[in-house]
Every structure is written in structure tokens, then in C-alpha cells.
Structure 1
Amino acid sequence: MLGAAVFLTLGLFAPQSQAAPGGAANPPGPAATASVHRSFPVPKSPHAISDNPRFRLSSQDSAEESGPRPAPVRTATASGQRSSSAAADACGDLSGVVDATGAALVQQLKALPQITCTYPLFGLTGEDARKAFREAQMVTVADALRADSATYAGDNRTATGQLVMFLRAGYYVQDNNADVVGDYGTALRSAARGALDAFFANPRSKDVTDANGEILNEVVTLIDSTHEAGRYAGVVKWMLGGYDATWPDRMNLAMQHVEWVVDNGFKARNDDRGWRAALKADPAILDTWAGFVTRNGAQLNRLDVVSNVGRHLGHALDVPELRDRLRPLLKDLINRYPNVGPTAPLTMNLGWATRQYDRGNCAAYAICDLGSRVLPAVLPVQHTCTPELRIRAQDMSPEQLASTCTSLVNQDAYFHRIIGDDGAIPGDVNTNLEVVAFDDYTQYALYAWAVYDIDVDNGGMYEEGNPALPGNQARFIAHEASWLRPDFEIWNLNHEYTHYLDGRYNMYGDFEAGMTTPTIWWVEGIAENISFGYRDERNADAIAEAGRRTYRLSELFDTVYGQEEDPEVNSNRVYRWGFLAVRYMLQKHPADVRTVLGAYRTGDWAGARTHLKQTIGTRYDADFATWLTTDCATADCGPLPEASVAPAPLCAQADPRQFDRNCRREGLAATTGNYSYHFVYLPAGVERLTITSGGGTGNADLYYGGGSWATTGSHLAKSTGAGNSETLTIDDPPSGWVYFSLAAAQDFGGVTLTTRSE
């Protein structure tokens, strides 16, 4: 499932650009003349399949050596105490293995009655790990494996597997506890090579039997543990050339572990132990590899061994000297099998490799139209919520479509109540948004790169495009939160919708220009606040961070993407601490927020920065620290306040139904099923009409009918949340009389209705 990672590299790729809308006097920065991307990556779900940012569509993918499932045997623990169970009697006490050295260690291992008795070795820690796996111990066992391999009979009659598993366990434990076990150097490297060379020199290592497969499976994995993929390229070539559907189960498992060898072997850059040098020395391996797929094409079925190993052939494109030989091979494979269905993991991963390593050369693979080919098949559902909002999905029911539309429409009103903005930024023509929802993370990672030309190592992507360009399409590309099923949710939907609203109403111009000064504290912080606040959910992660008091407020004004080396720390600073900084400022210093947003809305990034870093500076740091402890860590950070906006004047017209362009009427009422009808005259040139309702009791819904009376059955727009707080924003309304109404979903009274136009 394609290269992806989840934000950010877990989350924080630097966004690219938002083109500046025109219309402001002498705007800072370059004028918008071409469409460019403003790309917000979405934090990847912790439930995403893998952190590996390369090809990830297999349960076998692993960046490091992994241990087997523990068997119920008696073993040594870190404290030196011995534990036991009834089943442990079959294996005996492993303390002899942990404590032994030299020939006695080899004797203890060979005395174990079965391979699975070694499994607890993978869990050793502390002093037991040091005693068992220090380099001298590993060299002893590697030398024993070399000697044993000379007489290997194609099965485990001489306990070959126990020796191999000890070495595997040692590499695994040392990789995770190097400070305890100690370093591994040239002595072990030489001994391990000798052992592997001897094993593969024995013809019985190539027996296609379950008995050999039980050992070969672990020896192939040991290649990966020793990081010697390049040295044993010939072994992989033999396995690729010989594999077919008749191989027994244990040999199949050995073939699956070849995936680890080929994948991790490509990660050894500038290292003669990896695949790059080996493939340049013997490019015929590439032909064998492609033939492995076509010869076994009948087996292709999403996660089978042919798909798992075959898709890694695309990594070889990262070696420039191999590209001429690879292009026709990959062209054949990508176009030989369907790009949807069970063969998609092979074809789409190989297609992604051409984009990743041979970008701009799609014609060589006959896939320049790949995105348009797969689009109708993978995203067949199209639904319009409003003229400004539509959904394209892989698989959503009518009920799911309706609930998503309702969520976004109501969030729009919530956003404006919190922000108190004065309308869209002049010249911003991003009047509509397309929400794209893949069925799950796997489908997103397989297809979104091809259809929308985005990176998919994240949890989704908001693409703003050029908001000054007529016809520009803002788009949020996402996936369902499949792990929450049967509940339905689009991952980070409300967070990303806030980015759309924030870009339209708060952030002027080109995003790259905005990034000349740090604005991420606001951009991601307001998205988190609106998302959690609108859904009335507690931001537990941010509240936990508040108790740690990691950052001063003045530091958070400096936040940028990719600032912290550790991706998890970076994600915390951008999202959790962005939430905290914005929440504090909205609660405690709304006037400062209005000043900063006033600068952001005109593109005066330097002015906003001056206010944050000089006017405010460190003045609020002490109060912020107190707020983190008193208001946040112990009181869930308090409520998100609505903006303080001066109320419009009372309407002066004699007819209680009539409004002026900017006025309010109070005390409106109607009984269930009835209406409070209203209208307003708009001269030519009005760019935006905003109608809001609030206060009172009951449940009044707001409808807009344009040039006709507005009813529940005949209207152009509506806001139908619970209670009476509703907002409708009508861009480019017609001139003349326009009509709107409050419809009584329940009896309501005492409601205030306001019109504002610009």
C-alpha cells in the first residue's frame, strides 16, 4: 500500500502553497498567476497498517527484525528468576543456554528438543541478555552453524534450527538493547558470513520440502538480521527462479521472508552489503524477478507471496544504472494485470515506484492516464450536499452521505461564530470544496497518489490550490476510519474542513508567503480547536500535554512544520500545543487574536509577527503556564468562546417581516410546523449575505429561498442544527428582493434574526 507515512513523515511534511487571491491594495509577496498547491498533510491514524514509508501492503513488512510468538517454556528473566509452566517441561530450563559459554553453549542449544524452545530468547533483557548475546557468544554459535552446515541433511536432525534461532534472537535483542548487550563488530560479521556461506553451499539447502523449509525460512530471515542482502543475492535469485505453486507451506514461508530481504536490502544506501551493488553486478536478477511474477501470475491475490515480493521490484528504479533495463519490465507488469481488485497491490505499487523514482517519465510505462483510468472504478459515488460542497466516495451509504453533509454545513456556522470574521478574503474564489473519501487507509494509499498526484504517507491531504483562480477546486482527500466500524467517520474530516474555512476567511494569499513567518501555531491550532469544539469532544492528548508544561507560549508562536527531530515530538508540538496556544489566546486575549487575524487577512505577515513577538513577546508566558495547570490540565481547558461581535442595529422597517441589509429583529416566534417569514432588498453588487439566528427557546431552522418564499420543501439553502443557533452564508446573491424564513421544527420563541451584507 503505497508509500506513505502517515504527517509530516509521521505527520509533518511542509505544506506547499496557497496562491494569493487578488483584490487587496498593494499586497505583500508575489501576485498569484499560476495554480500551485497548498497541501496540508493529515496526521496518520495510529491504526494505520505500518510506519514504513515505502511499499506497505503486507503483514510481513517490517523495518527491523521481529521475534516469533513466545512459546510457553521455562526461561530466564531479567532479574535472574526462573519462571515455569506445565508446558515448559517439554523444553527444559533455558538457564543453561543463558549461562553457558563456548562448546557448552552449543551443546545446550543442540540439546533443546525443538526449534520453538528458543522462542523465549527473543524476550531476554538486562544481565541475561548481555550474558547470552554478547559478541563472543554469537561468534561461538555462528562458528558452530558453519560446522553444522557442512553435514546439513535438509532437516533439523542435528538441531541446525536451534543454532539459527539463537543467532536471530541475538540480533533482535541487541538491536533493541545495544547499550546492555554491547556492540557487534567485524568478528561476528565474519563468523556470520562463514555460517551463511556454508549453509547455502550445501546442496540440501535447496531441497523443496517442508523439512528444509522449516530451516530455510529462518536462515533467510537471518540474512535480513545480518544486513547481508547483497552477498546472498544469488540465493534470492534461485528462490525467485524456482518458486511455483507446488512449493510446500514451509518453503512458501521462506519465500515470504525473502520480502524482508529485498525490501530492507534496498535501504542499505552506499553499502556494498545491500541490493544496489548486487543488482548492478548481476542485472539478470531483474529479469528473473519479473519472470517470477508472470510465471506465477495465476496466484496473484492481493497479499500472496507473488504480490508481496513482486511489488518490491519497483525499488530497483532507485538505482539509475538499472532504469533502462527495468522500464520495459515494469511497463509489462503494470499493464498486464488489472489496476483494481486482487492484483492492485502489485500494479499500483509498481506504478507508484515509477512516480517516486522516475518522475516525469510516465510515458515509458504507458501510465500517464493511470489516474483517470482508475478514478471511476475506485470512486464511483458522487453526491452534492450544497452548491458549495460535494462528496466523491468509494463506498458510502445515503445515510452516511447525509450525515457528512450535515456535519460540514453545521460546522461552517460554528466556525463563523467562533472566529467572528467579516466574510471571505477579497479575491478568494474558493467557493466550493470537494471531499474525497476512500474506503480505508489501504485504498487511500493505493490510489490517491495516482488520481490526485499527492503523497500518501499521511492520513489524508487538503489541497487548496490557487484560491485566486476562477474554477479552482479545493479538495480534501481522505479515508474512512475503518477501525471504528460499525460507526462511520471520515478520518480528520472536521479538522481539514477547518483548513478550508481558515484559508478562505482568515489566511490571505500564497501559503508559502505566509510561511516566511511562522503561522502554524494558528493554522493547526484553530483546526484542532474547531474540530474538537464543534464535535464537543475532549482533546485528551492536548490536556495530557498541558500537564507537562513543555513549551512557553512565546515559543509556540515560533512553531513550524518539521521543527523537532523526533516525528512524535513534532506532531505533539504542531497539533497538541497548537491547540493549547490558540485555546488560551481565544479565551484570555481575544483582542490580540483579532489584531493578528486582521494582519493575516491582509497578508501582513510581518505585522502579525511583530505583534506576536514584540507587542506580546513573553508577557503572557507566566499566565499561560498557570492556565495550563489550573484551567487545562485540571479543567479540560475550559470552553471555546464565541467571538464578541457588536450586534447589528434593530430593524427600523414597519413591516415586521422586512429587513435592512444590516439589522436584527428580536422576539420572533412560531409554533411547530409554521414559519416566521422574512425578506430583504439587495442592491446590485452585494457579494455576500449572511443570515444568523440565535437565542430564545425551542428549535427554529433557517431557510433561504432566493427570489421565492423559503419553506422546508422549497429553498436554496438551509441550516438545520439542534436549537436556534443557525447561520447561512449566501455568496453573490441576486439583486432585488430575496426571501428567508425560520421554520419551527418545534415551538420556538424569543429568537433573534440578523442580516449582514457586503
Structure 2
Amino acid sequence: MGAGLLAQPAAALSGASAPAARTAAPGGQDAGPAPTAQTATADSAHVGKGRQKPSRIPPLAASKDVLRQDGGKQSAKKPADVAAACDASDFTGRTGNALVRQIKASTTDCVNTLFELTGSDARGAFREAQMTSVAYAVRDGSASYPGDSSTGMPQLVLYLRAGYYVQYYNPDAVGAYGDALRTAIRSGLDAFFASPRSRDVTDANGETLAEAVTLIDSAEENARYIHVLRRLLADYDASWNASWPMLNAVNNVYTVTFRGHQVPEFVTAVRADPGLVDSLYRFASDHLALLGTGQSYLTSNAGRELGRFLQHPALRAEVRPLASGLLDASSITGATAPLWVGVAEMTDYYDRSNCSYYGTCDLQAQLARAVLPVTHACGPAIIIRAQQMTSGELSASCAGLREQDAHFHEAVMDDGPVAGDRNDTIEVVVFDSSTDYQTYAGAMYGIDTNNGGMYLEGDPAAAGNQARFIAYEAEWLRPDFRIWNLNHEYTHYLDGRFDMYGDFAANVATPTIWWIEGFAEYLSYSYRGIVYDEAMAEAGKGTYALSTLFDTTYSHDTTRVYRWGYLAVRYMLERHPADMATVLGHYRSGDWNAARDHLTRTIGTRYDADWYAWLAGCAAGDCGAVTECAAPDTRVLDRDCRRGNRSGAAGADDYLYLYLPSGVPQLKITVSGGTGDADLYYSDSGWATRTSHTSSSTGAGNSHTLTVTDPPAGYHYVTLHGAESFSGVTVATRY
């Protein structure tokens, strides 16, 4: 995904997280094990913007919404993706044993969709009496729990999680939860964790166990089940590594401890008996060998959660020597760095006055010296700070950014920076891998790192403010070098400086995400000359009206934010540039309401019919973006343009040419239309002829295509040769 994040710097302690995202700082845990290897797919998820701490913890979202260790995101399945037989009325219309039977007969995918219920459906499914029935079903089923899903235990536990989640966000609709549910949920969890088969080290048991551990937190029973957390930490051994669900279960221990600090009973219990602190220390110190492996996050998270107890003065005497011991057992760089950085970040935030005791004074500067030794100026406006980049990689990255700058201004036709914007430089921070990004970026810049990179705009009007993109090398593309999401995030910088008045908070005061993320995707793909296949696939589905997409916010799923944002921006820029000029004019002056009025009232649904026709064309491979080339010399081709009405006699040649900048990954040449028979010849070294060419496409008729991969910078030559006389033929080039 070309997309990373556009965000303000995270608060040093943001309290509870947005649903389904780890709280960012200080040092939210690494996400657990990745069910699949990282792939070079599209966009990473957007996370919350430092919300105010709520009065109580929002329960975590649907179980399939797994933040992956590799920095990508496995998205929660949406209702359209699951069996059509799943319907809210199956649950809202049943009570007691009938409800329990329905839940057991449903799939976990089906139950996952219930996290989205609102209104009367939310009350029908999750009022206290319903939840109490299900909690007692967990109790009754635990005595004979077989260690797998055959009796419906995963669905029951997940249903309870969904109920707490929905009730938190819809308290008026669902109604209050009281002592009746608390008694029932305790009896259910007591019985499940007492079941001998709940300790099976298998995928089948891990599926339910992981959900049950998270349910501890959802029900705010963090204090009651400290003994379960300690047991899981003690029971883990190398045999668990073969089971992703079991690894997920032990990693969920850290969710319960992390969020437990907002539950007074939990803090009181640990103060009275700090055995959990000792368990975290023993896990980290006993499993140092996991660092540098696929299970590294288990050890580093144990260290983080140990250090987090430094926030409680009554526990500092217990925690300080243990934290110091873990720092001594690890190093600021190398395989053990995730543990060192995690513990150091906690000491820096919660016990900074004693930094000399830990050796963590001036932590951010320490990390910068150790981790980012490379500083390279791409000119007066762009500085690259890197963990490791060769001179060739630095030069190529700088050239690409400068060329993208020109492409941006051509696309938006701006008149210079918006008023008051002092972000005249950008710092591009490049870690050596996604693992290094996850290890260091949070501690150095106070950001969440379960994403594909983050642009921090800050306050562009403030003197001394530094705009910064924090990124990493896409190690899975080696030996090719690529800074992941570089073009997308650099677009955020340019867009913020030349199109969007004020800071990020002002920019999103009305729904502008369709433009902010959609344009970053559009410019990234169009500049690189890459077809956005995932967006084209979405176009074929026709999911959203254009008028609907103008209402997109970060609360919507990443497919809508990024892929549909791209489609909406591309349509508006290429089909209705005058409307976009009006909207951008309002964005540049900070008149957000006027821009919103133009989109929702002046345009409204007026373009929806044409939009759907355009989507169908995109899905078929033609978004209609190619326009007549503008150069007065009719032989000149250019980016995404055509020369129509070409003609020639049999045996004659019609010569055309274009100039390509460096860094173009693909040039596509197409011939279409007209009458007769014209063959296509191409050369990158001189006029193309039948006897001297690099490649060709011949045969009856005038439908020909050539795709040139990694063409060199410079002039390229295209020739139509008359196999027979031809007329009315169109030649188009895209790159």
C-alpha cells in the first residue's frame, strides 16, 4: 500500500486506545505474531489521533482485527465477506438457551460482524440479560471443554467480547451492565481457566484461550485474573512457537497488564502482591534468546510491561532493579535492542529523574546517535537521516523526491505555499527495516509503529517546527532498495504545505480524508507510473457513490480510505478539474465549510451516474485519463497522453517520440482505432524502423500494446509502419 499515516505526534501517554489499535505511547506493545509473511501490498491502517482519555477503557474490537508484528494489518472481516446466513435477527430474536444454541451454531466470522451492531439491534443482542445467559453458558460448558471449538466455546467467548465492545460505544442503546453480569462473567471465566483442557498447547485450544484472555480486559476483570496472567507467562516454552493462536494468547497477557493500569483494582492488587512484576521480569530474562527471532516481541513486551509499573511510586523500589537488570542484559543496537529500547522508554517516561541509575538520560539523543548516523541533504528543502543508506541510494532517493515535487505542482496547479506555512523543509527518517522502525521510532518520535510509516506535520505556523516523515526500507524487496511509502508520505508534506491551510487538526475539521489520503495515493501511483491494481479491482465492485466518498473519515476501513479515496480523487482531477480547482481554493484559504458546501451541495449527487460509468471503464482497464498531448509538435508524446488521427500509406512510417525522466518503472505504448493496418515499433536508442527497433507489436489491424519495464531516462522512439495504408489511428503513452 502506498499509504502510511498522516498524524499529529502522539501524546506521551494517550491513555486508552482507539478500538482495535494499540495505544501508541509510551511504547505500546509490539503487535503479536504475524499469521502470514509480509507482502508488498497496499495501504496500512490509520490509527487514532491521540484521543482524550475516556472515563473507562474501550474494549478491544473484533478478534480478526489483528495488528501484525510486521507493521501491516490484517483487516477485520466485514459483513459482506461472511456467510449470508449470518443475520442480527438470529441473535436479537432469541433469549436464554435458544440464544446460546444459535451462537454455538454460528461461525466465528459471523459473530465477528456483531461488533458493528447499533441501536435496537445492539440492545436486542447485548442487553445485560442476554450477556448473562451467555456468560453462564461459558461456565456450564467449561467443565467438559474439549480443548477445541466442537462445543462452540470460541463463539460464546467472542460473543461476550462483542457485547462489551458494543455496550461501551452504545451505552444508551444497550443499557447498563451491573452486578448480575459481573457475577456471571466471573463464574464463566473462573470455570474456563480452571478447565484442564484450557492449558492444551494446540491451535484448537489457543483460538479460545486467546479470546478468553482478551475477555478479561473487556470485562475489566484485570485484577481478578492476575493468577492466570502469571500462569501463562510461566507455562510458555518453545513448544508454543509452532502455534500462532497460543502465541497470541500469551501476547494478550500484555494487553491485560497494559490496560490494567486504568483499572484501580488491578493497581491495588499488584501493589499488595507484586508477583506479576516478578513474573514479567522472569519471562524477559529467561527468554532473551527469543530476541532477534520471530517471537522477539514476547520478550520485549514483557520488558515494557515490567517498566510500565514504574508509574506507581509504591512499586518503584520493586521495579527499578529489575528494569536496570534487563537494560544491562540487552543493548541499544543489535538483536537485543527491542528489549533495551522498550525498557528504556518506560524508565524515561515514568522515572526520568533517576535516568542516571538506568543509563537512559537524554534517551532520544542517545538513540539518534546510535541508530541514525547518516545525514544527507538533498538540497535546501529535504534532509535524509538514515540508519544505513549507500551514496547511490541517497542520490536516487533525492532525485525521486525532486522529480515528484514537479509532478505534484503540475497536478494541483498551486500558487505557492498556503498562508502562514513555515514548513519549508522536511526531514525524511529512514530506518533499515520494518523491525528497526518498530524498535526505535516510537521511543524516538512518540508515534505508533503498527503501520507503514508516519508523516508528522506539527504546527506549520510555529517557528522552528520540523515536518518529518518517519519511514523504513522495505526489506522484503531486497536486493532492490525502496523506502516504503516514500512517495505517499512526501505527498502529504507537499499537500499540507501547498493545499491545506493550517495544521492537521484544522485540515480534518470537516471530512477531507477522501482528498488527503486519496490524493497521496493518486500522486504516488501516477508519479511512479504504476497501475493501482487493488483500486481497479474495487472499481469493478461499484461499492460507493462518489457523493458518499466525500464523507469519508478515518473511522472507515482502509479500503474506503485509500483505494476508494484514490478513485474519487482521480475521477475529480481528471473529469472535473474546475470543481477541484474550486475545492482546493477553499482548502488553501482554510474555508473548510465552503469546500464542504461545494462538494455536498453544488456537486452533491450530480456526478454519481457518470461516476459509476467511469468505474466500469476503470475496471475494464481504461479510466479515460489519457488526453490529447499538448506539445505543438505533433510528433511529441508525453505522460498519459495520446496523438489521434495518425495516418500513413502502405510501406510508410509515421515517427513519434517522447522523453522520459529517470526512475520510471514502466512505459506503456498502445495503438488503437482507425482503419487499415499499422504495426507498432519502439526503440530507446534512435528512430524505430522495421529493421532497427528494440521491440515491436505487429499483426492484422491497429490494436497493439508494448510495455517497457524500467526504461532508461532520455528519448524514446515510437513508429507506426503501414503494413497497409492506415488512417484515424491513435497512439497513446502512459508512464
Amino acid at match of 2:469: F
In the TM superposition, residue 643 of structure 1 has moved relative to its aligned partner by 12
Matched-pair contact (CA < 8 Å) for 2:32–2:251? no
Match of 2:572 in 1: 585
- Match for 1:557 among 527, 550, 556? 550
1: distance between equivalents of 2:371 and 2:569? 38
Aligned-residue Cα RMSD (Å) equals 5.8
1:318-397 paired onto structure 2 within 5 Å: 322=315, 326=319, 329-330=322-323, 333-334=326-327, 337-353=330-346, 367-397=360-390
Match of 1:282 in 2: 273
Match of 2:409 in 1: 416
2: distance between equivalents of 1:357 and 1:621? 54
In the TM superposition, residue 495 of structure 1 has moved relative to its aligned partner by 1.0
Matched-pair contact (CA < 8 Å) for 1:461–1:478? yes
Aligned with 2:394: secondary structure?
A: helix
Aligned with 2:147: secondary structure?
A: helix
1:351-750 paired onto structure 2 within 5 Å: 351-353=344-346, 367-425=360-418, 428-468=421-461, 472-562=465-555, 564=556, 568=557, 571-614=558-601, 616-618=602-604, 620-639=606-625, 697=657, 699=659
Match of 1:116 in 2: none
Q: In the superposition, relative to structure 1, how do residues 440 and 282 fare at CA in structure 2: closer, same or farther (>3 Å)?
A: same
1:210-221 paired onto structure 2 within 5 Å: none
Structure 1: stretches of 5+ with no match in the other structure: 1-5, 18-35, 38-45, 67-120, 127-133, 145-162, 206-210, 648-664, 670-694, 703-721, 724-743, 749-758
1: distance between equivalents of 2:249 and 2:393? 42
In the TM superposition, residue 396 of structure 1 has moved relative to its aligned partner by 2.7
Q: Which has the higher contact order (CA 8 A, sep 6+)?
A: 1
Amino acid at match of 1:447: Y
Amino acid at match of 2:273: D
**1:260-310 per-position Cα deviation (integer Å, ceiling 9, x unaligned):** 463243377599999656424412442454366558779866646755644
Match of 2:29 in 1: 55
In the TM superposition, residue 634 of structure 1 has moved relative to its aligned partner by 3.0
2: distance between equivalents of 1:357 and 1:267? 14
Q: State yes or no: 1:171 paired with 2:162.
A: no
2: distance between equivalents of 1:315 and 1:12? 26
Matched-pair contact (CA < 8 Å) for 1:266–1:315? no
Amino acid at match of 2:33: S
Computing the radius of gyration over CA atoms, which structure comes out larger, 1 or 2? 1
Q: In the superposition, relative to structure 1, how do residues 277 and 362 fare at CA in structure 2: closer, same or farther (>3 Å)?
A: same
Matched-pair contact (CA < 8 Å) for 2:457–2:504? no
Q: In the superposition, relative to structure 1, how do residues 325 and 612 fare at CA in structure 2: closer, same or farther (>3 Å)?
A: same
Matched-pair contact (CA < 8 Å) for 1:213–1:250? yes
**1:477-532 per-position Cα deviation (integer Å, ceiling 9, x unaligned):** 11122233333322211111111222232223334333333333322222111111
Amino acid at match of 1:517: T
Amino acid at match of 2:374: V
**1:538-580 per-position Cα deviation (integer Å, ceiling 9, x unaligned):** 2233233333444333343333333x3xxx2xx2332223222
Q: TM-score, normalised by structure 2?
A: 0.57
**1:409-457 per-position Cα deviation (integer Å, ceiling 9, x unaligned):** 2212222222222334465443332221112222112111222233323
Aligned with 1:279: secondary structure?
A: helix
1:311-322 paired onto structure 2 within 5 Å: 311-316=304-309, 322=315
Structure 2: stretches of 5+ with no match in the other structure: 13-20, 36-59, 65-104, 111-133, 162-180, 637-654, 663-683, 686-712, 718-735
Matched-pair contact (CA < 8 Å) for 2:222–2:263? no
Amino acid at match of 2:534: D
2: distance between equivalents of 1:65 and 1:541? 25
2: distance between equivalents of 1:403 and 1:64? 42
Match of 2:39 in 1: none
2: distance between equivalents of 1:168 and 1:310? 37
Segment of structure 1 superposing worse, 538-547 or 310-319: 310-319
Number of corresponding residues:
532
In the TM superposition, residue 55 of structure 1 has moved relative to its aligned partner by 1.3
2: distance between equivalents of 1:529 and 1:261? 37
1: distance between equivalents of 2:589 and 2:63? 53
Aligned with 2:427: secondary structure?
A: strand
Amino acid at match of 2:254: D
Amino acid at match of 2:391: P
1: distance between equivalents of 2:509 and 2:109? 48
Q: State yes or no: 1:263 paired with 2:254.
A: yes
Matched-pair contact (CA < 8 Å) for 1:507–1:603? yes
In the TM superposition, residue 583 of structure 1 has moved relative to its aligned partner by 1.5
Q: In the superposition, relative to structure 1, how do residues 57 and 224 fare at CA in structure 2: closer, same or farther (>3 Å)?
A: closer
Amino acid at match of 2:589: T
Aligned with 1:431: secondary structure?
A: coil
2: distance between equivalents of 1:214 and 1:746? 61
Q: In the superposition, relative to structure 1, how do residues 172 and 421 fare at CA in structure 2: closer, same or farther (>3 Å)?
A: same
1: distance between equivalents of 2:510 and 2:136? 55
Amino acid at match of 2:545: R
In the TM superposition, residue 373 of structure 1 has moved relative to its aligned partner by 0.7
2: distance between equivalents of 1:515 and 1:642? 36
1: distance between equivalents of 2:137 and 2:495? 61
Amino acid at match of 1:580: L
In the TM superposition, residue 635 of structure 1 has moved relative to its aligned partner by 3.8
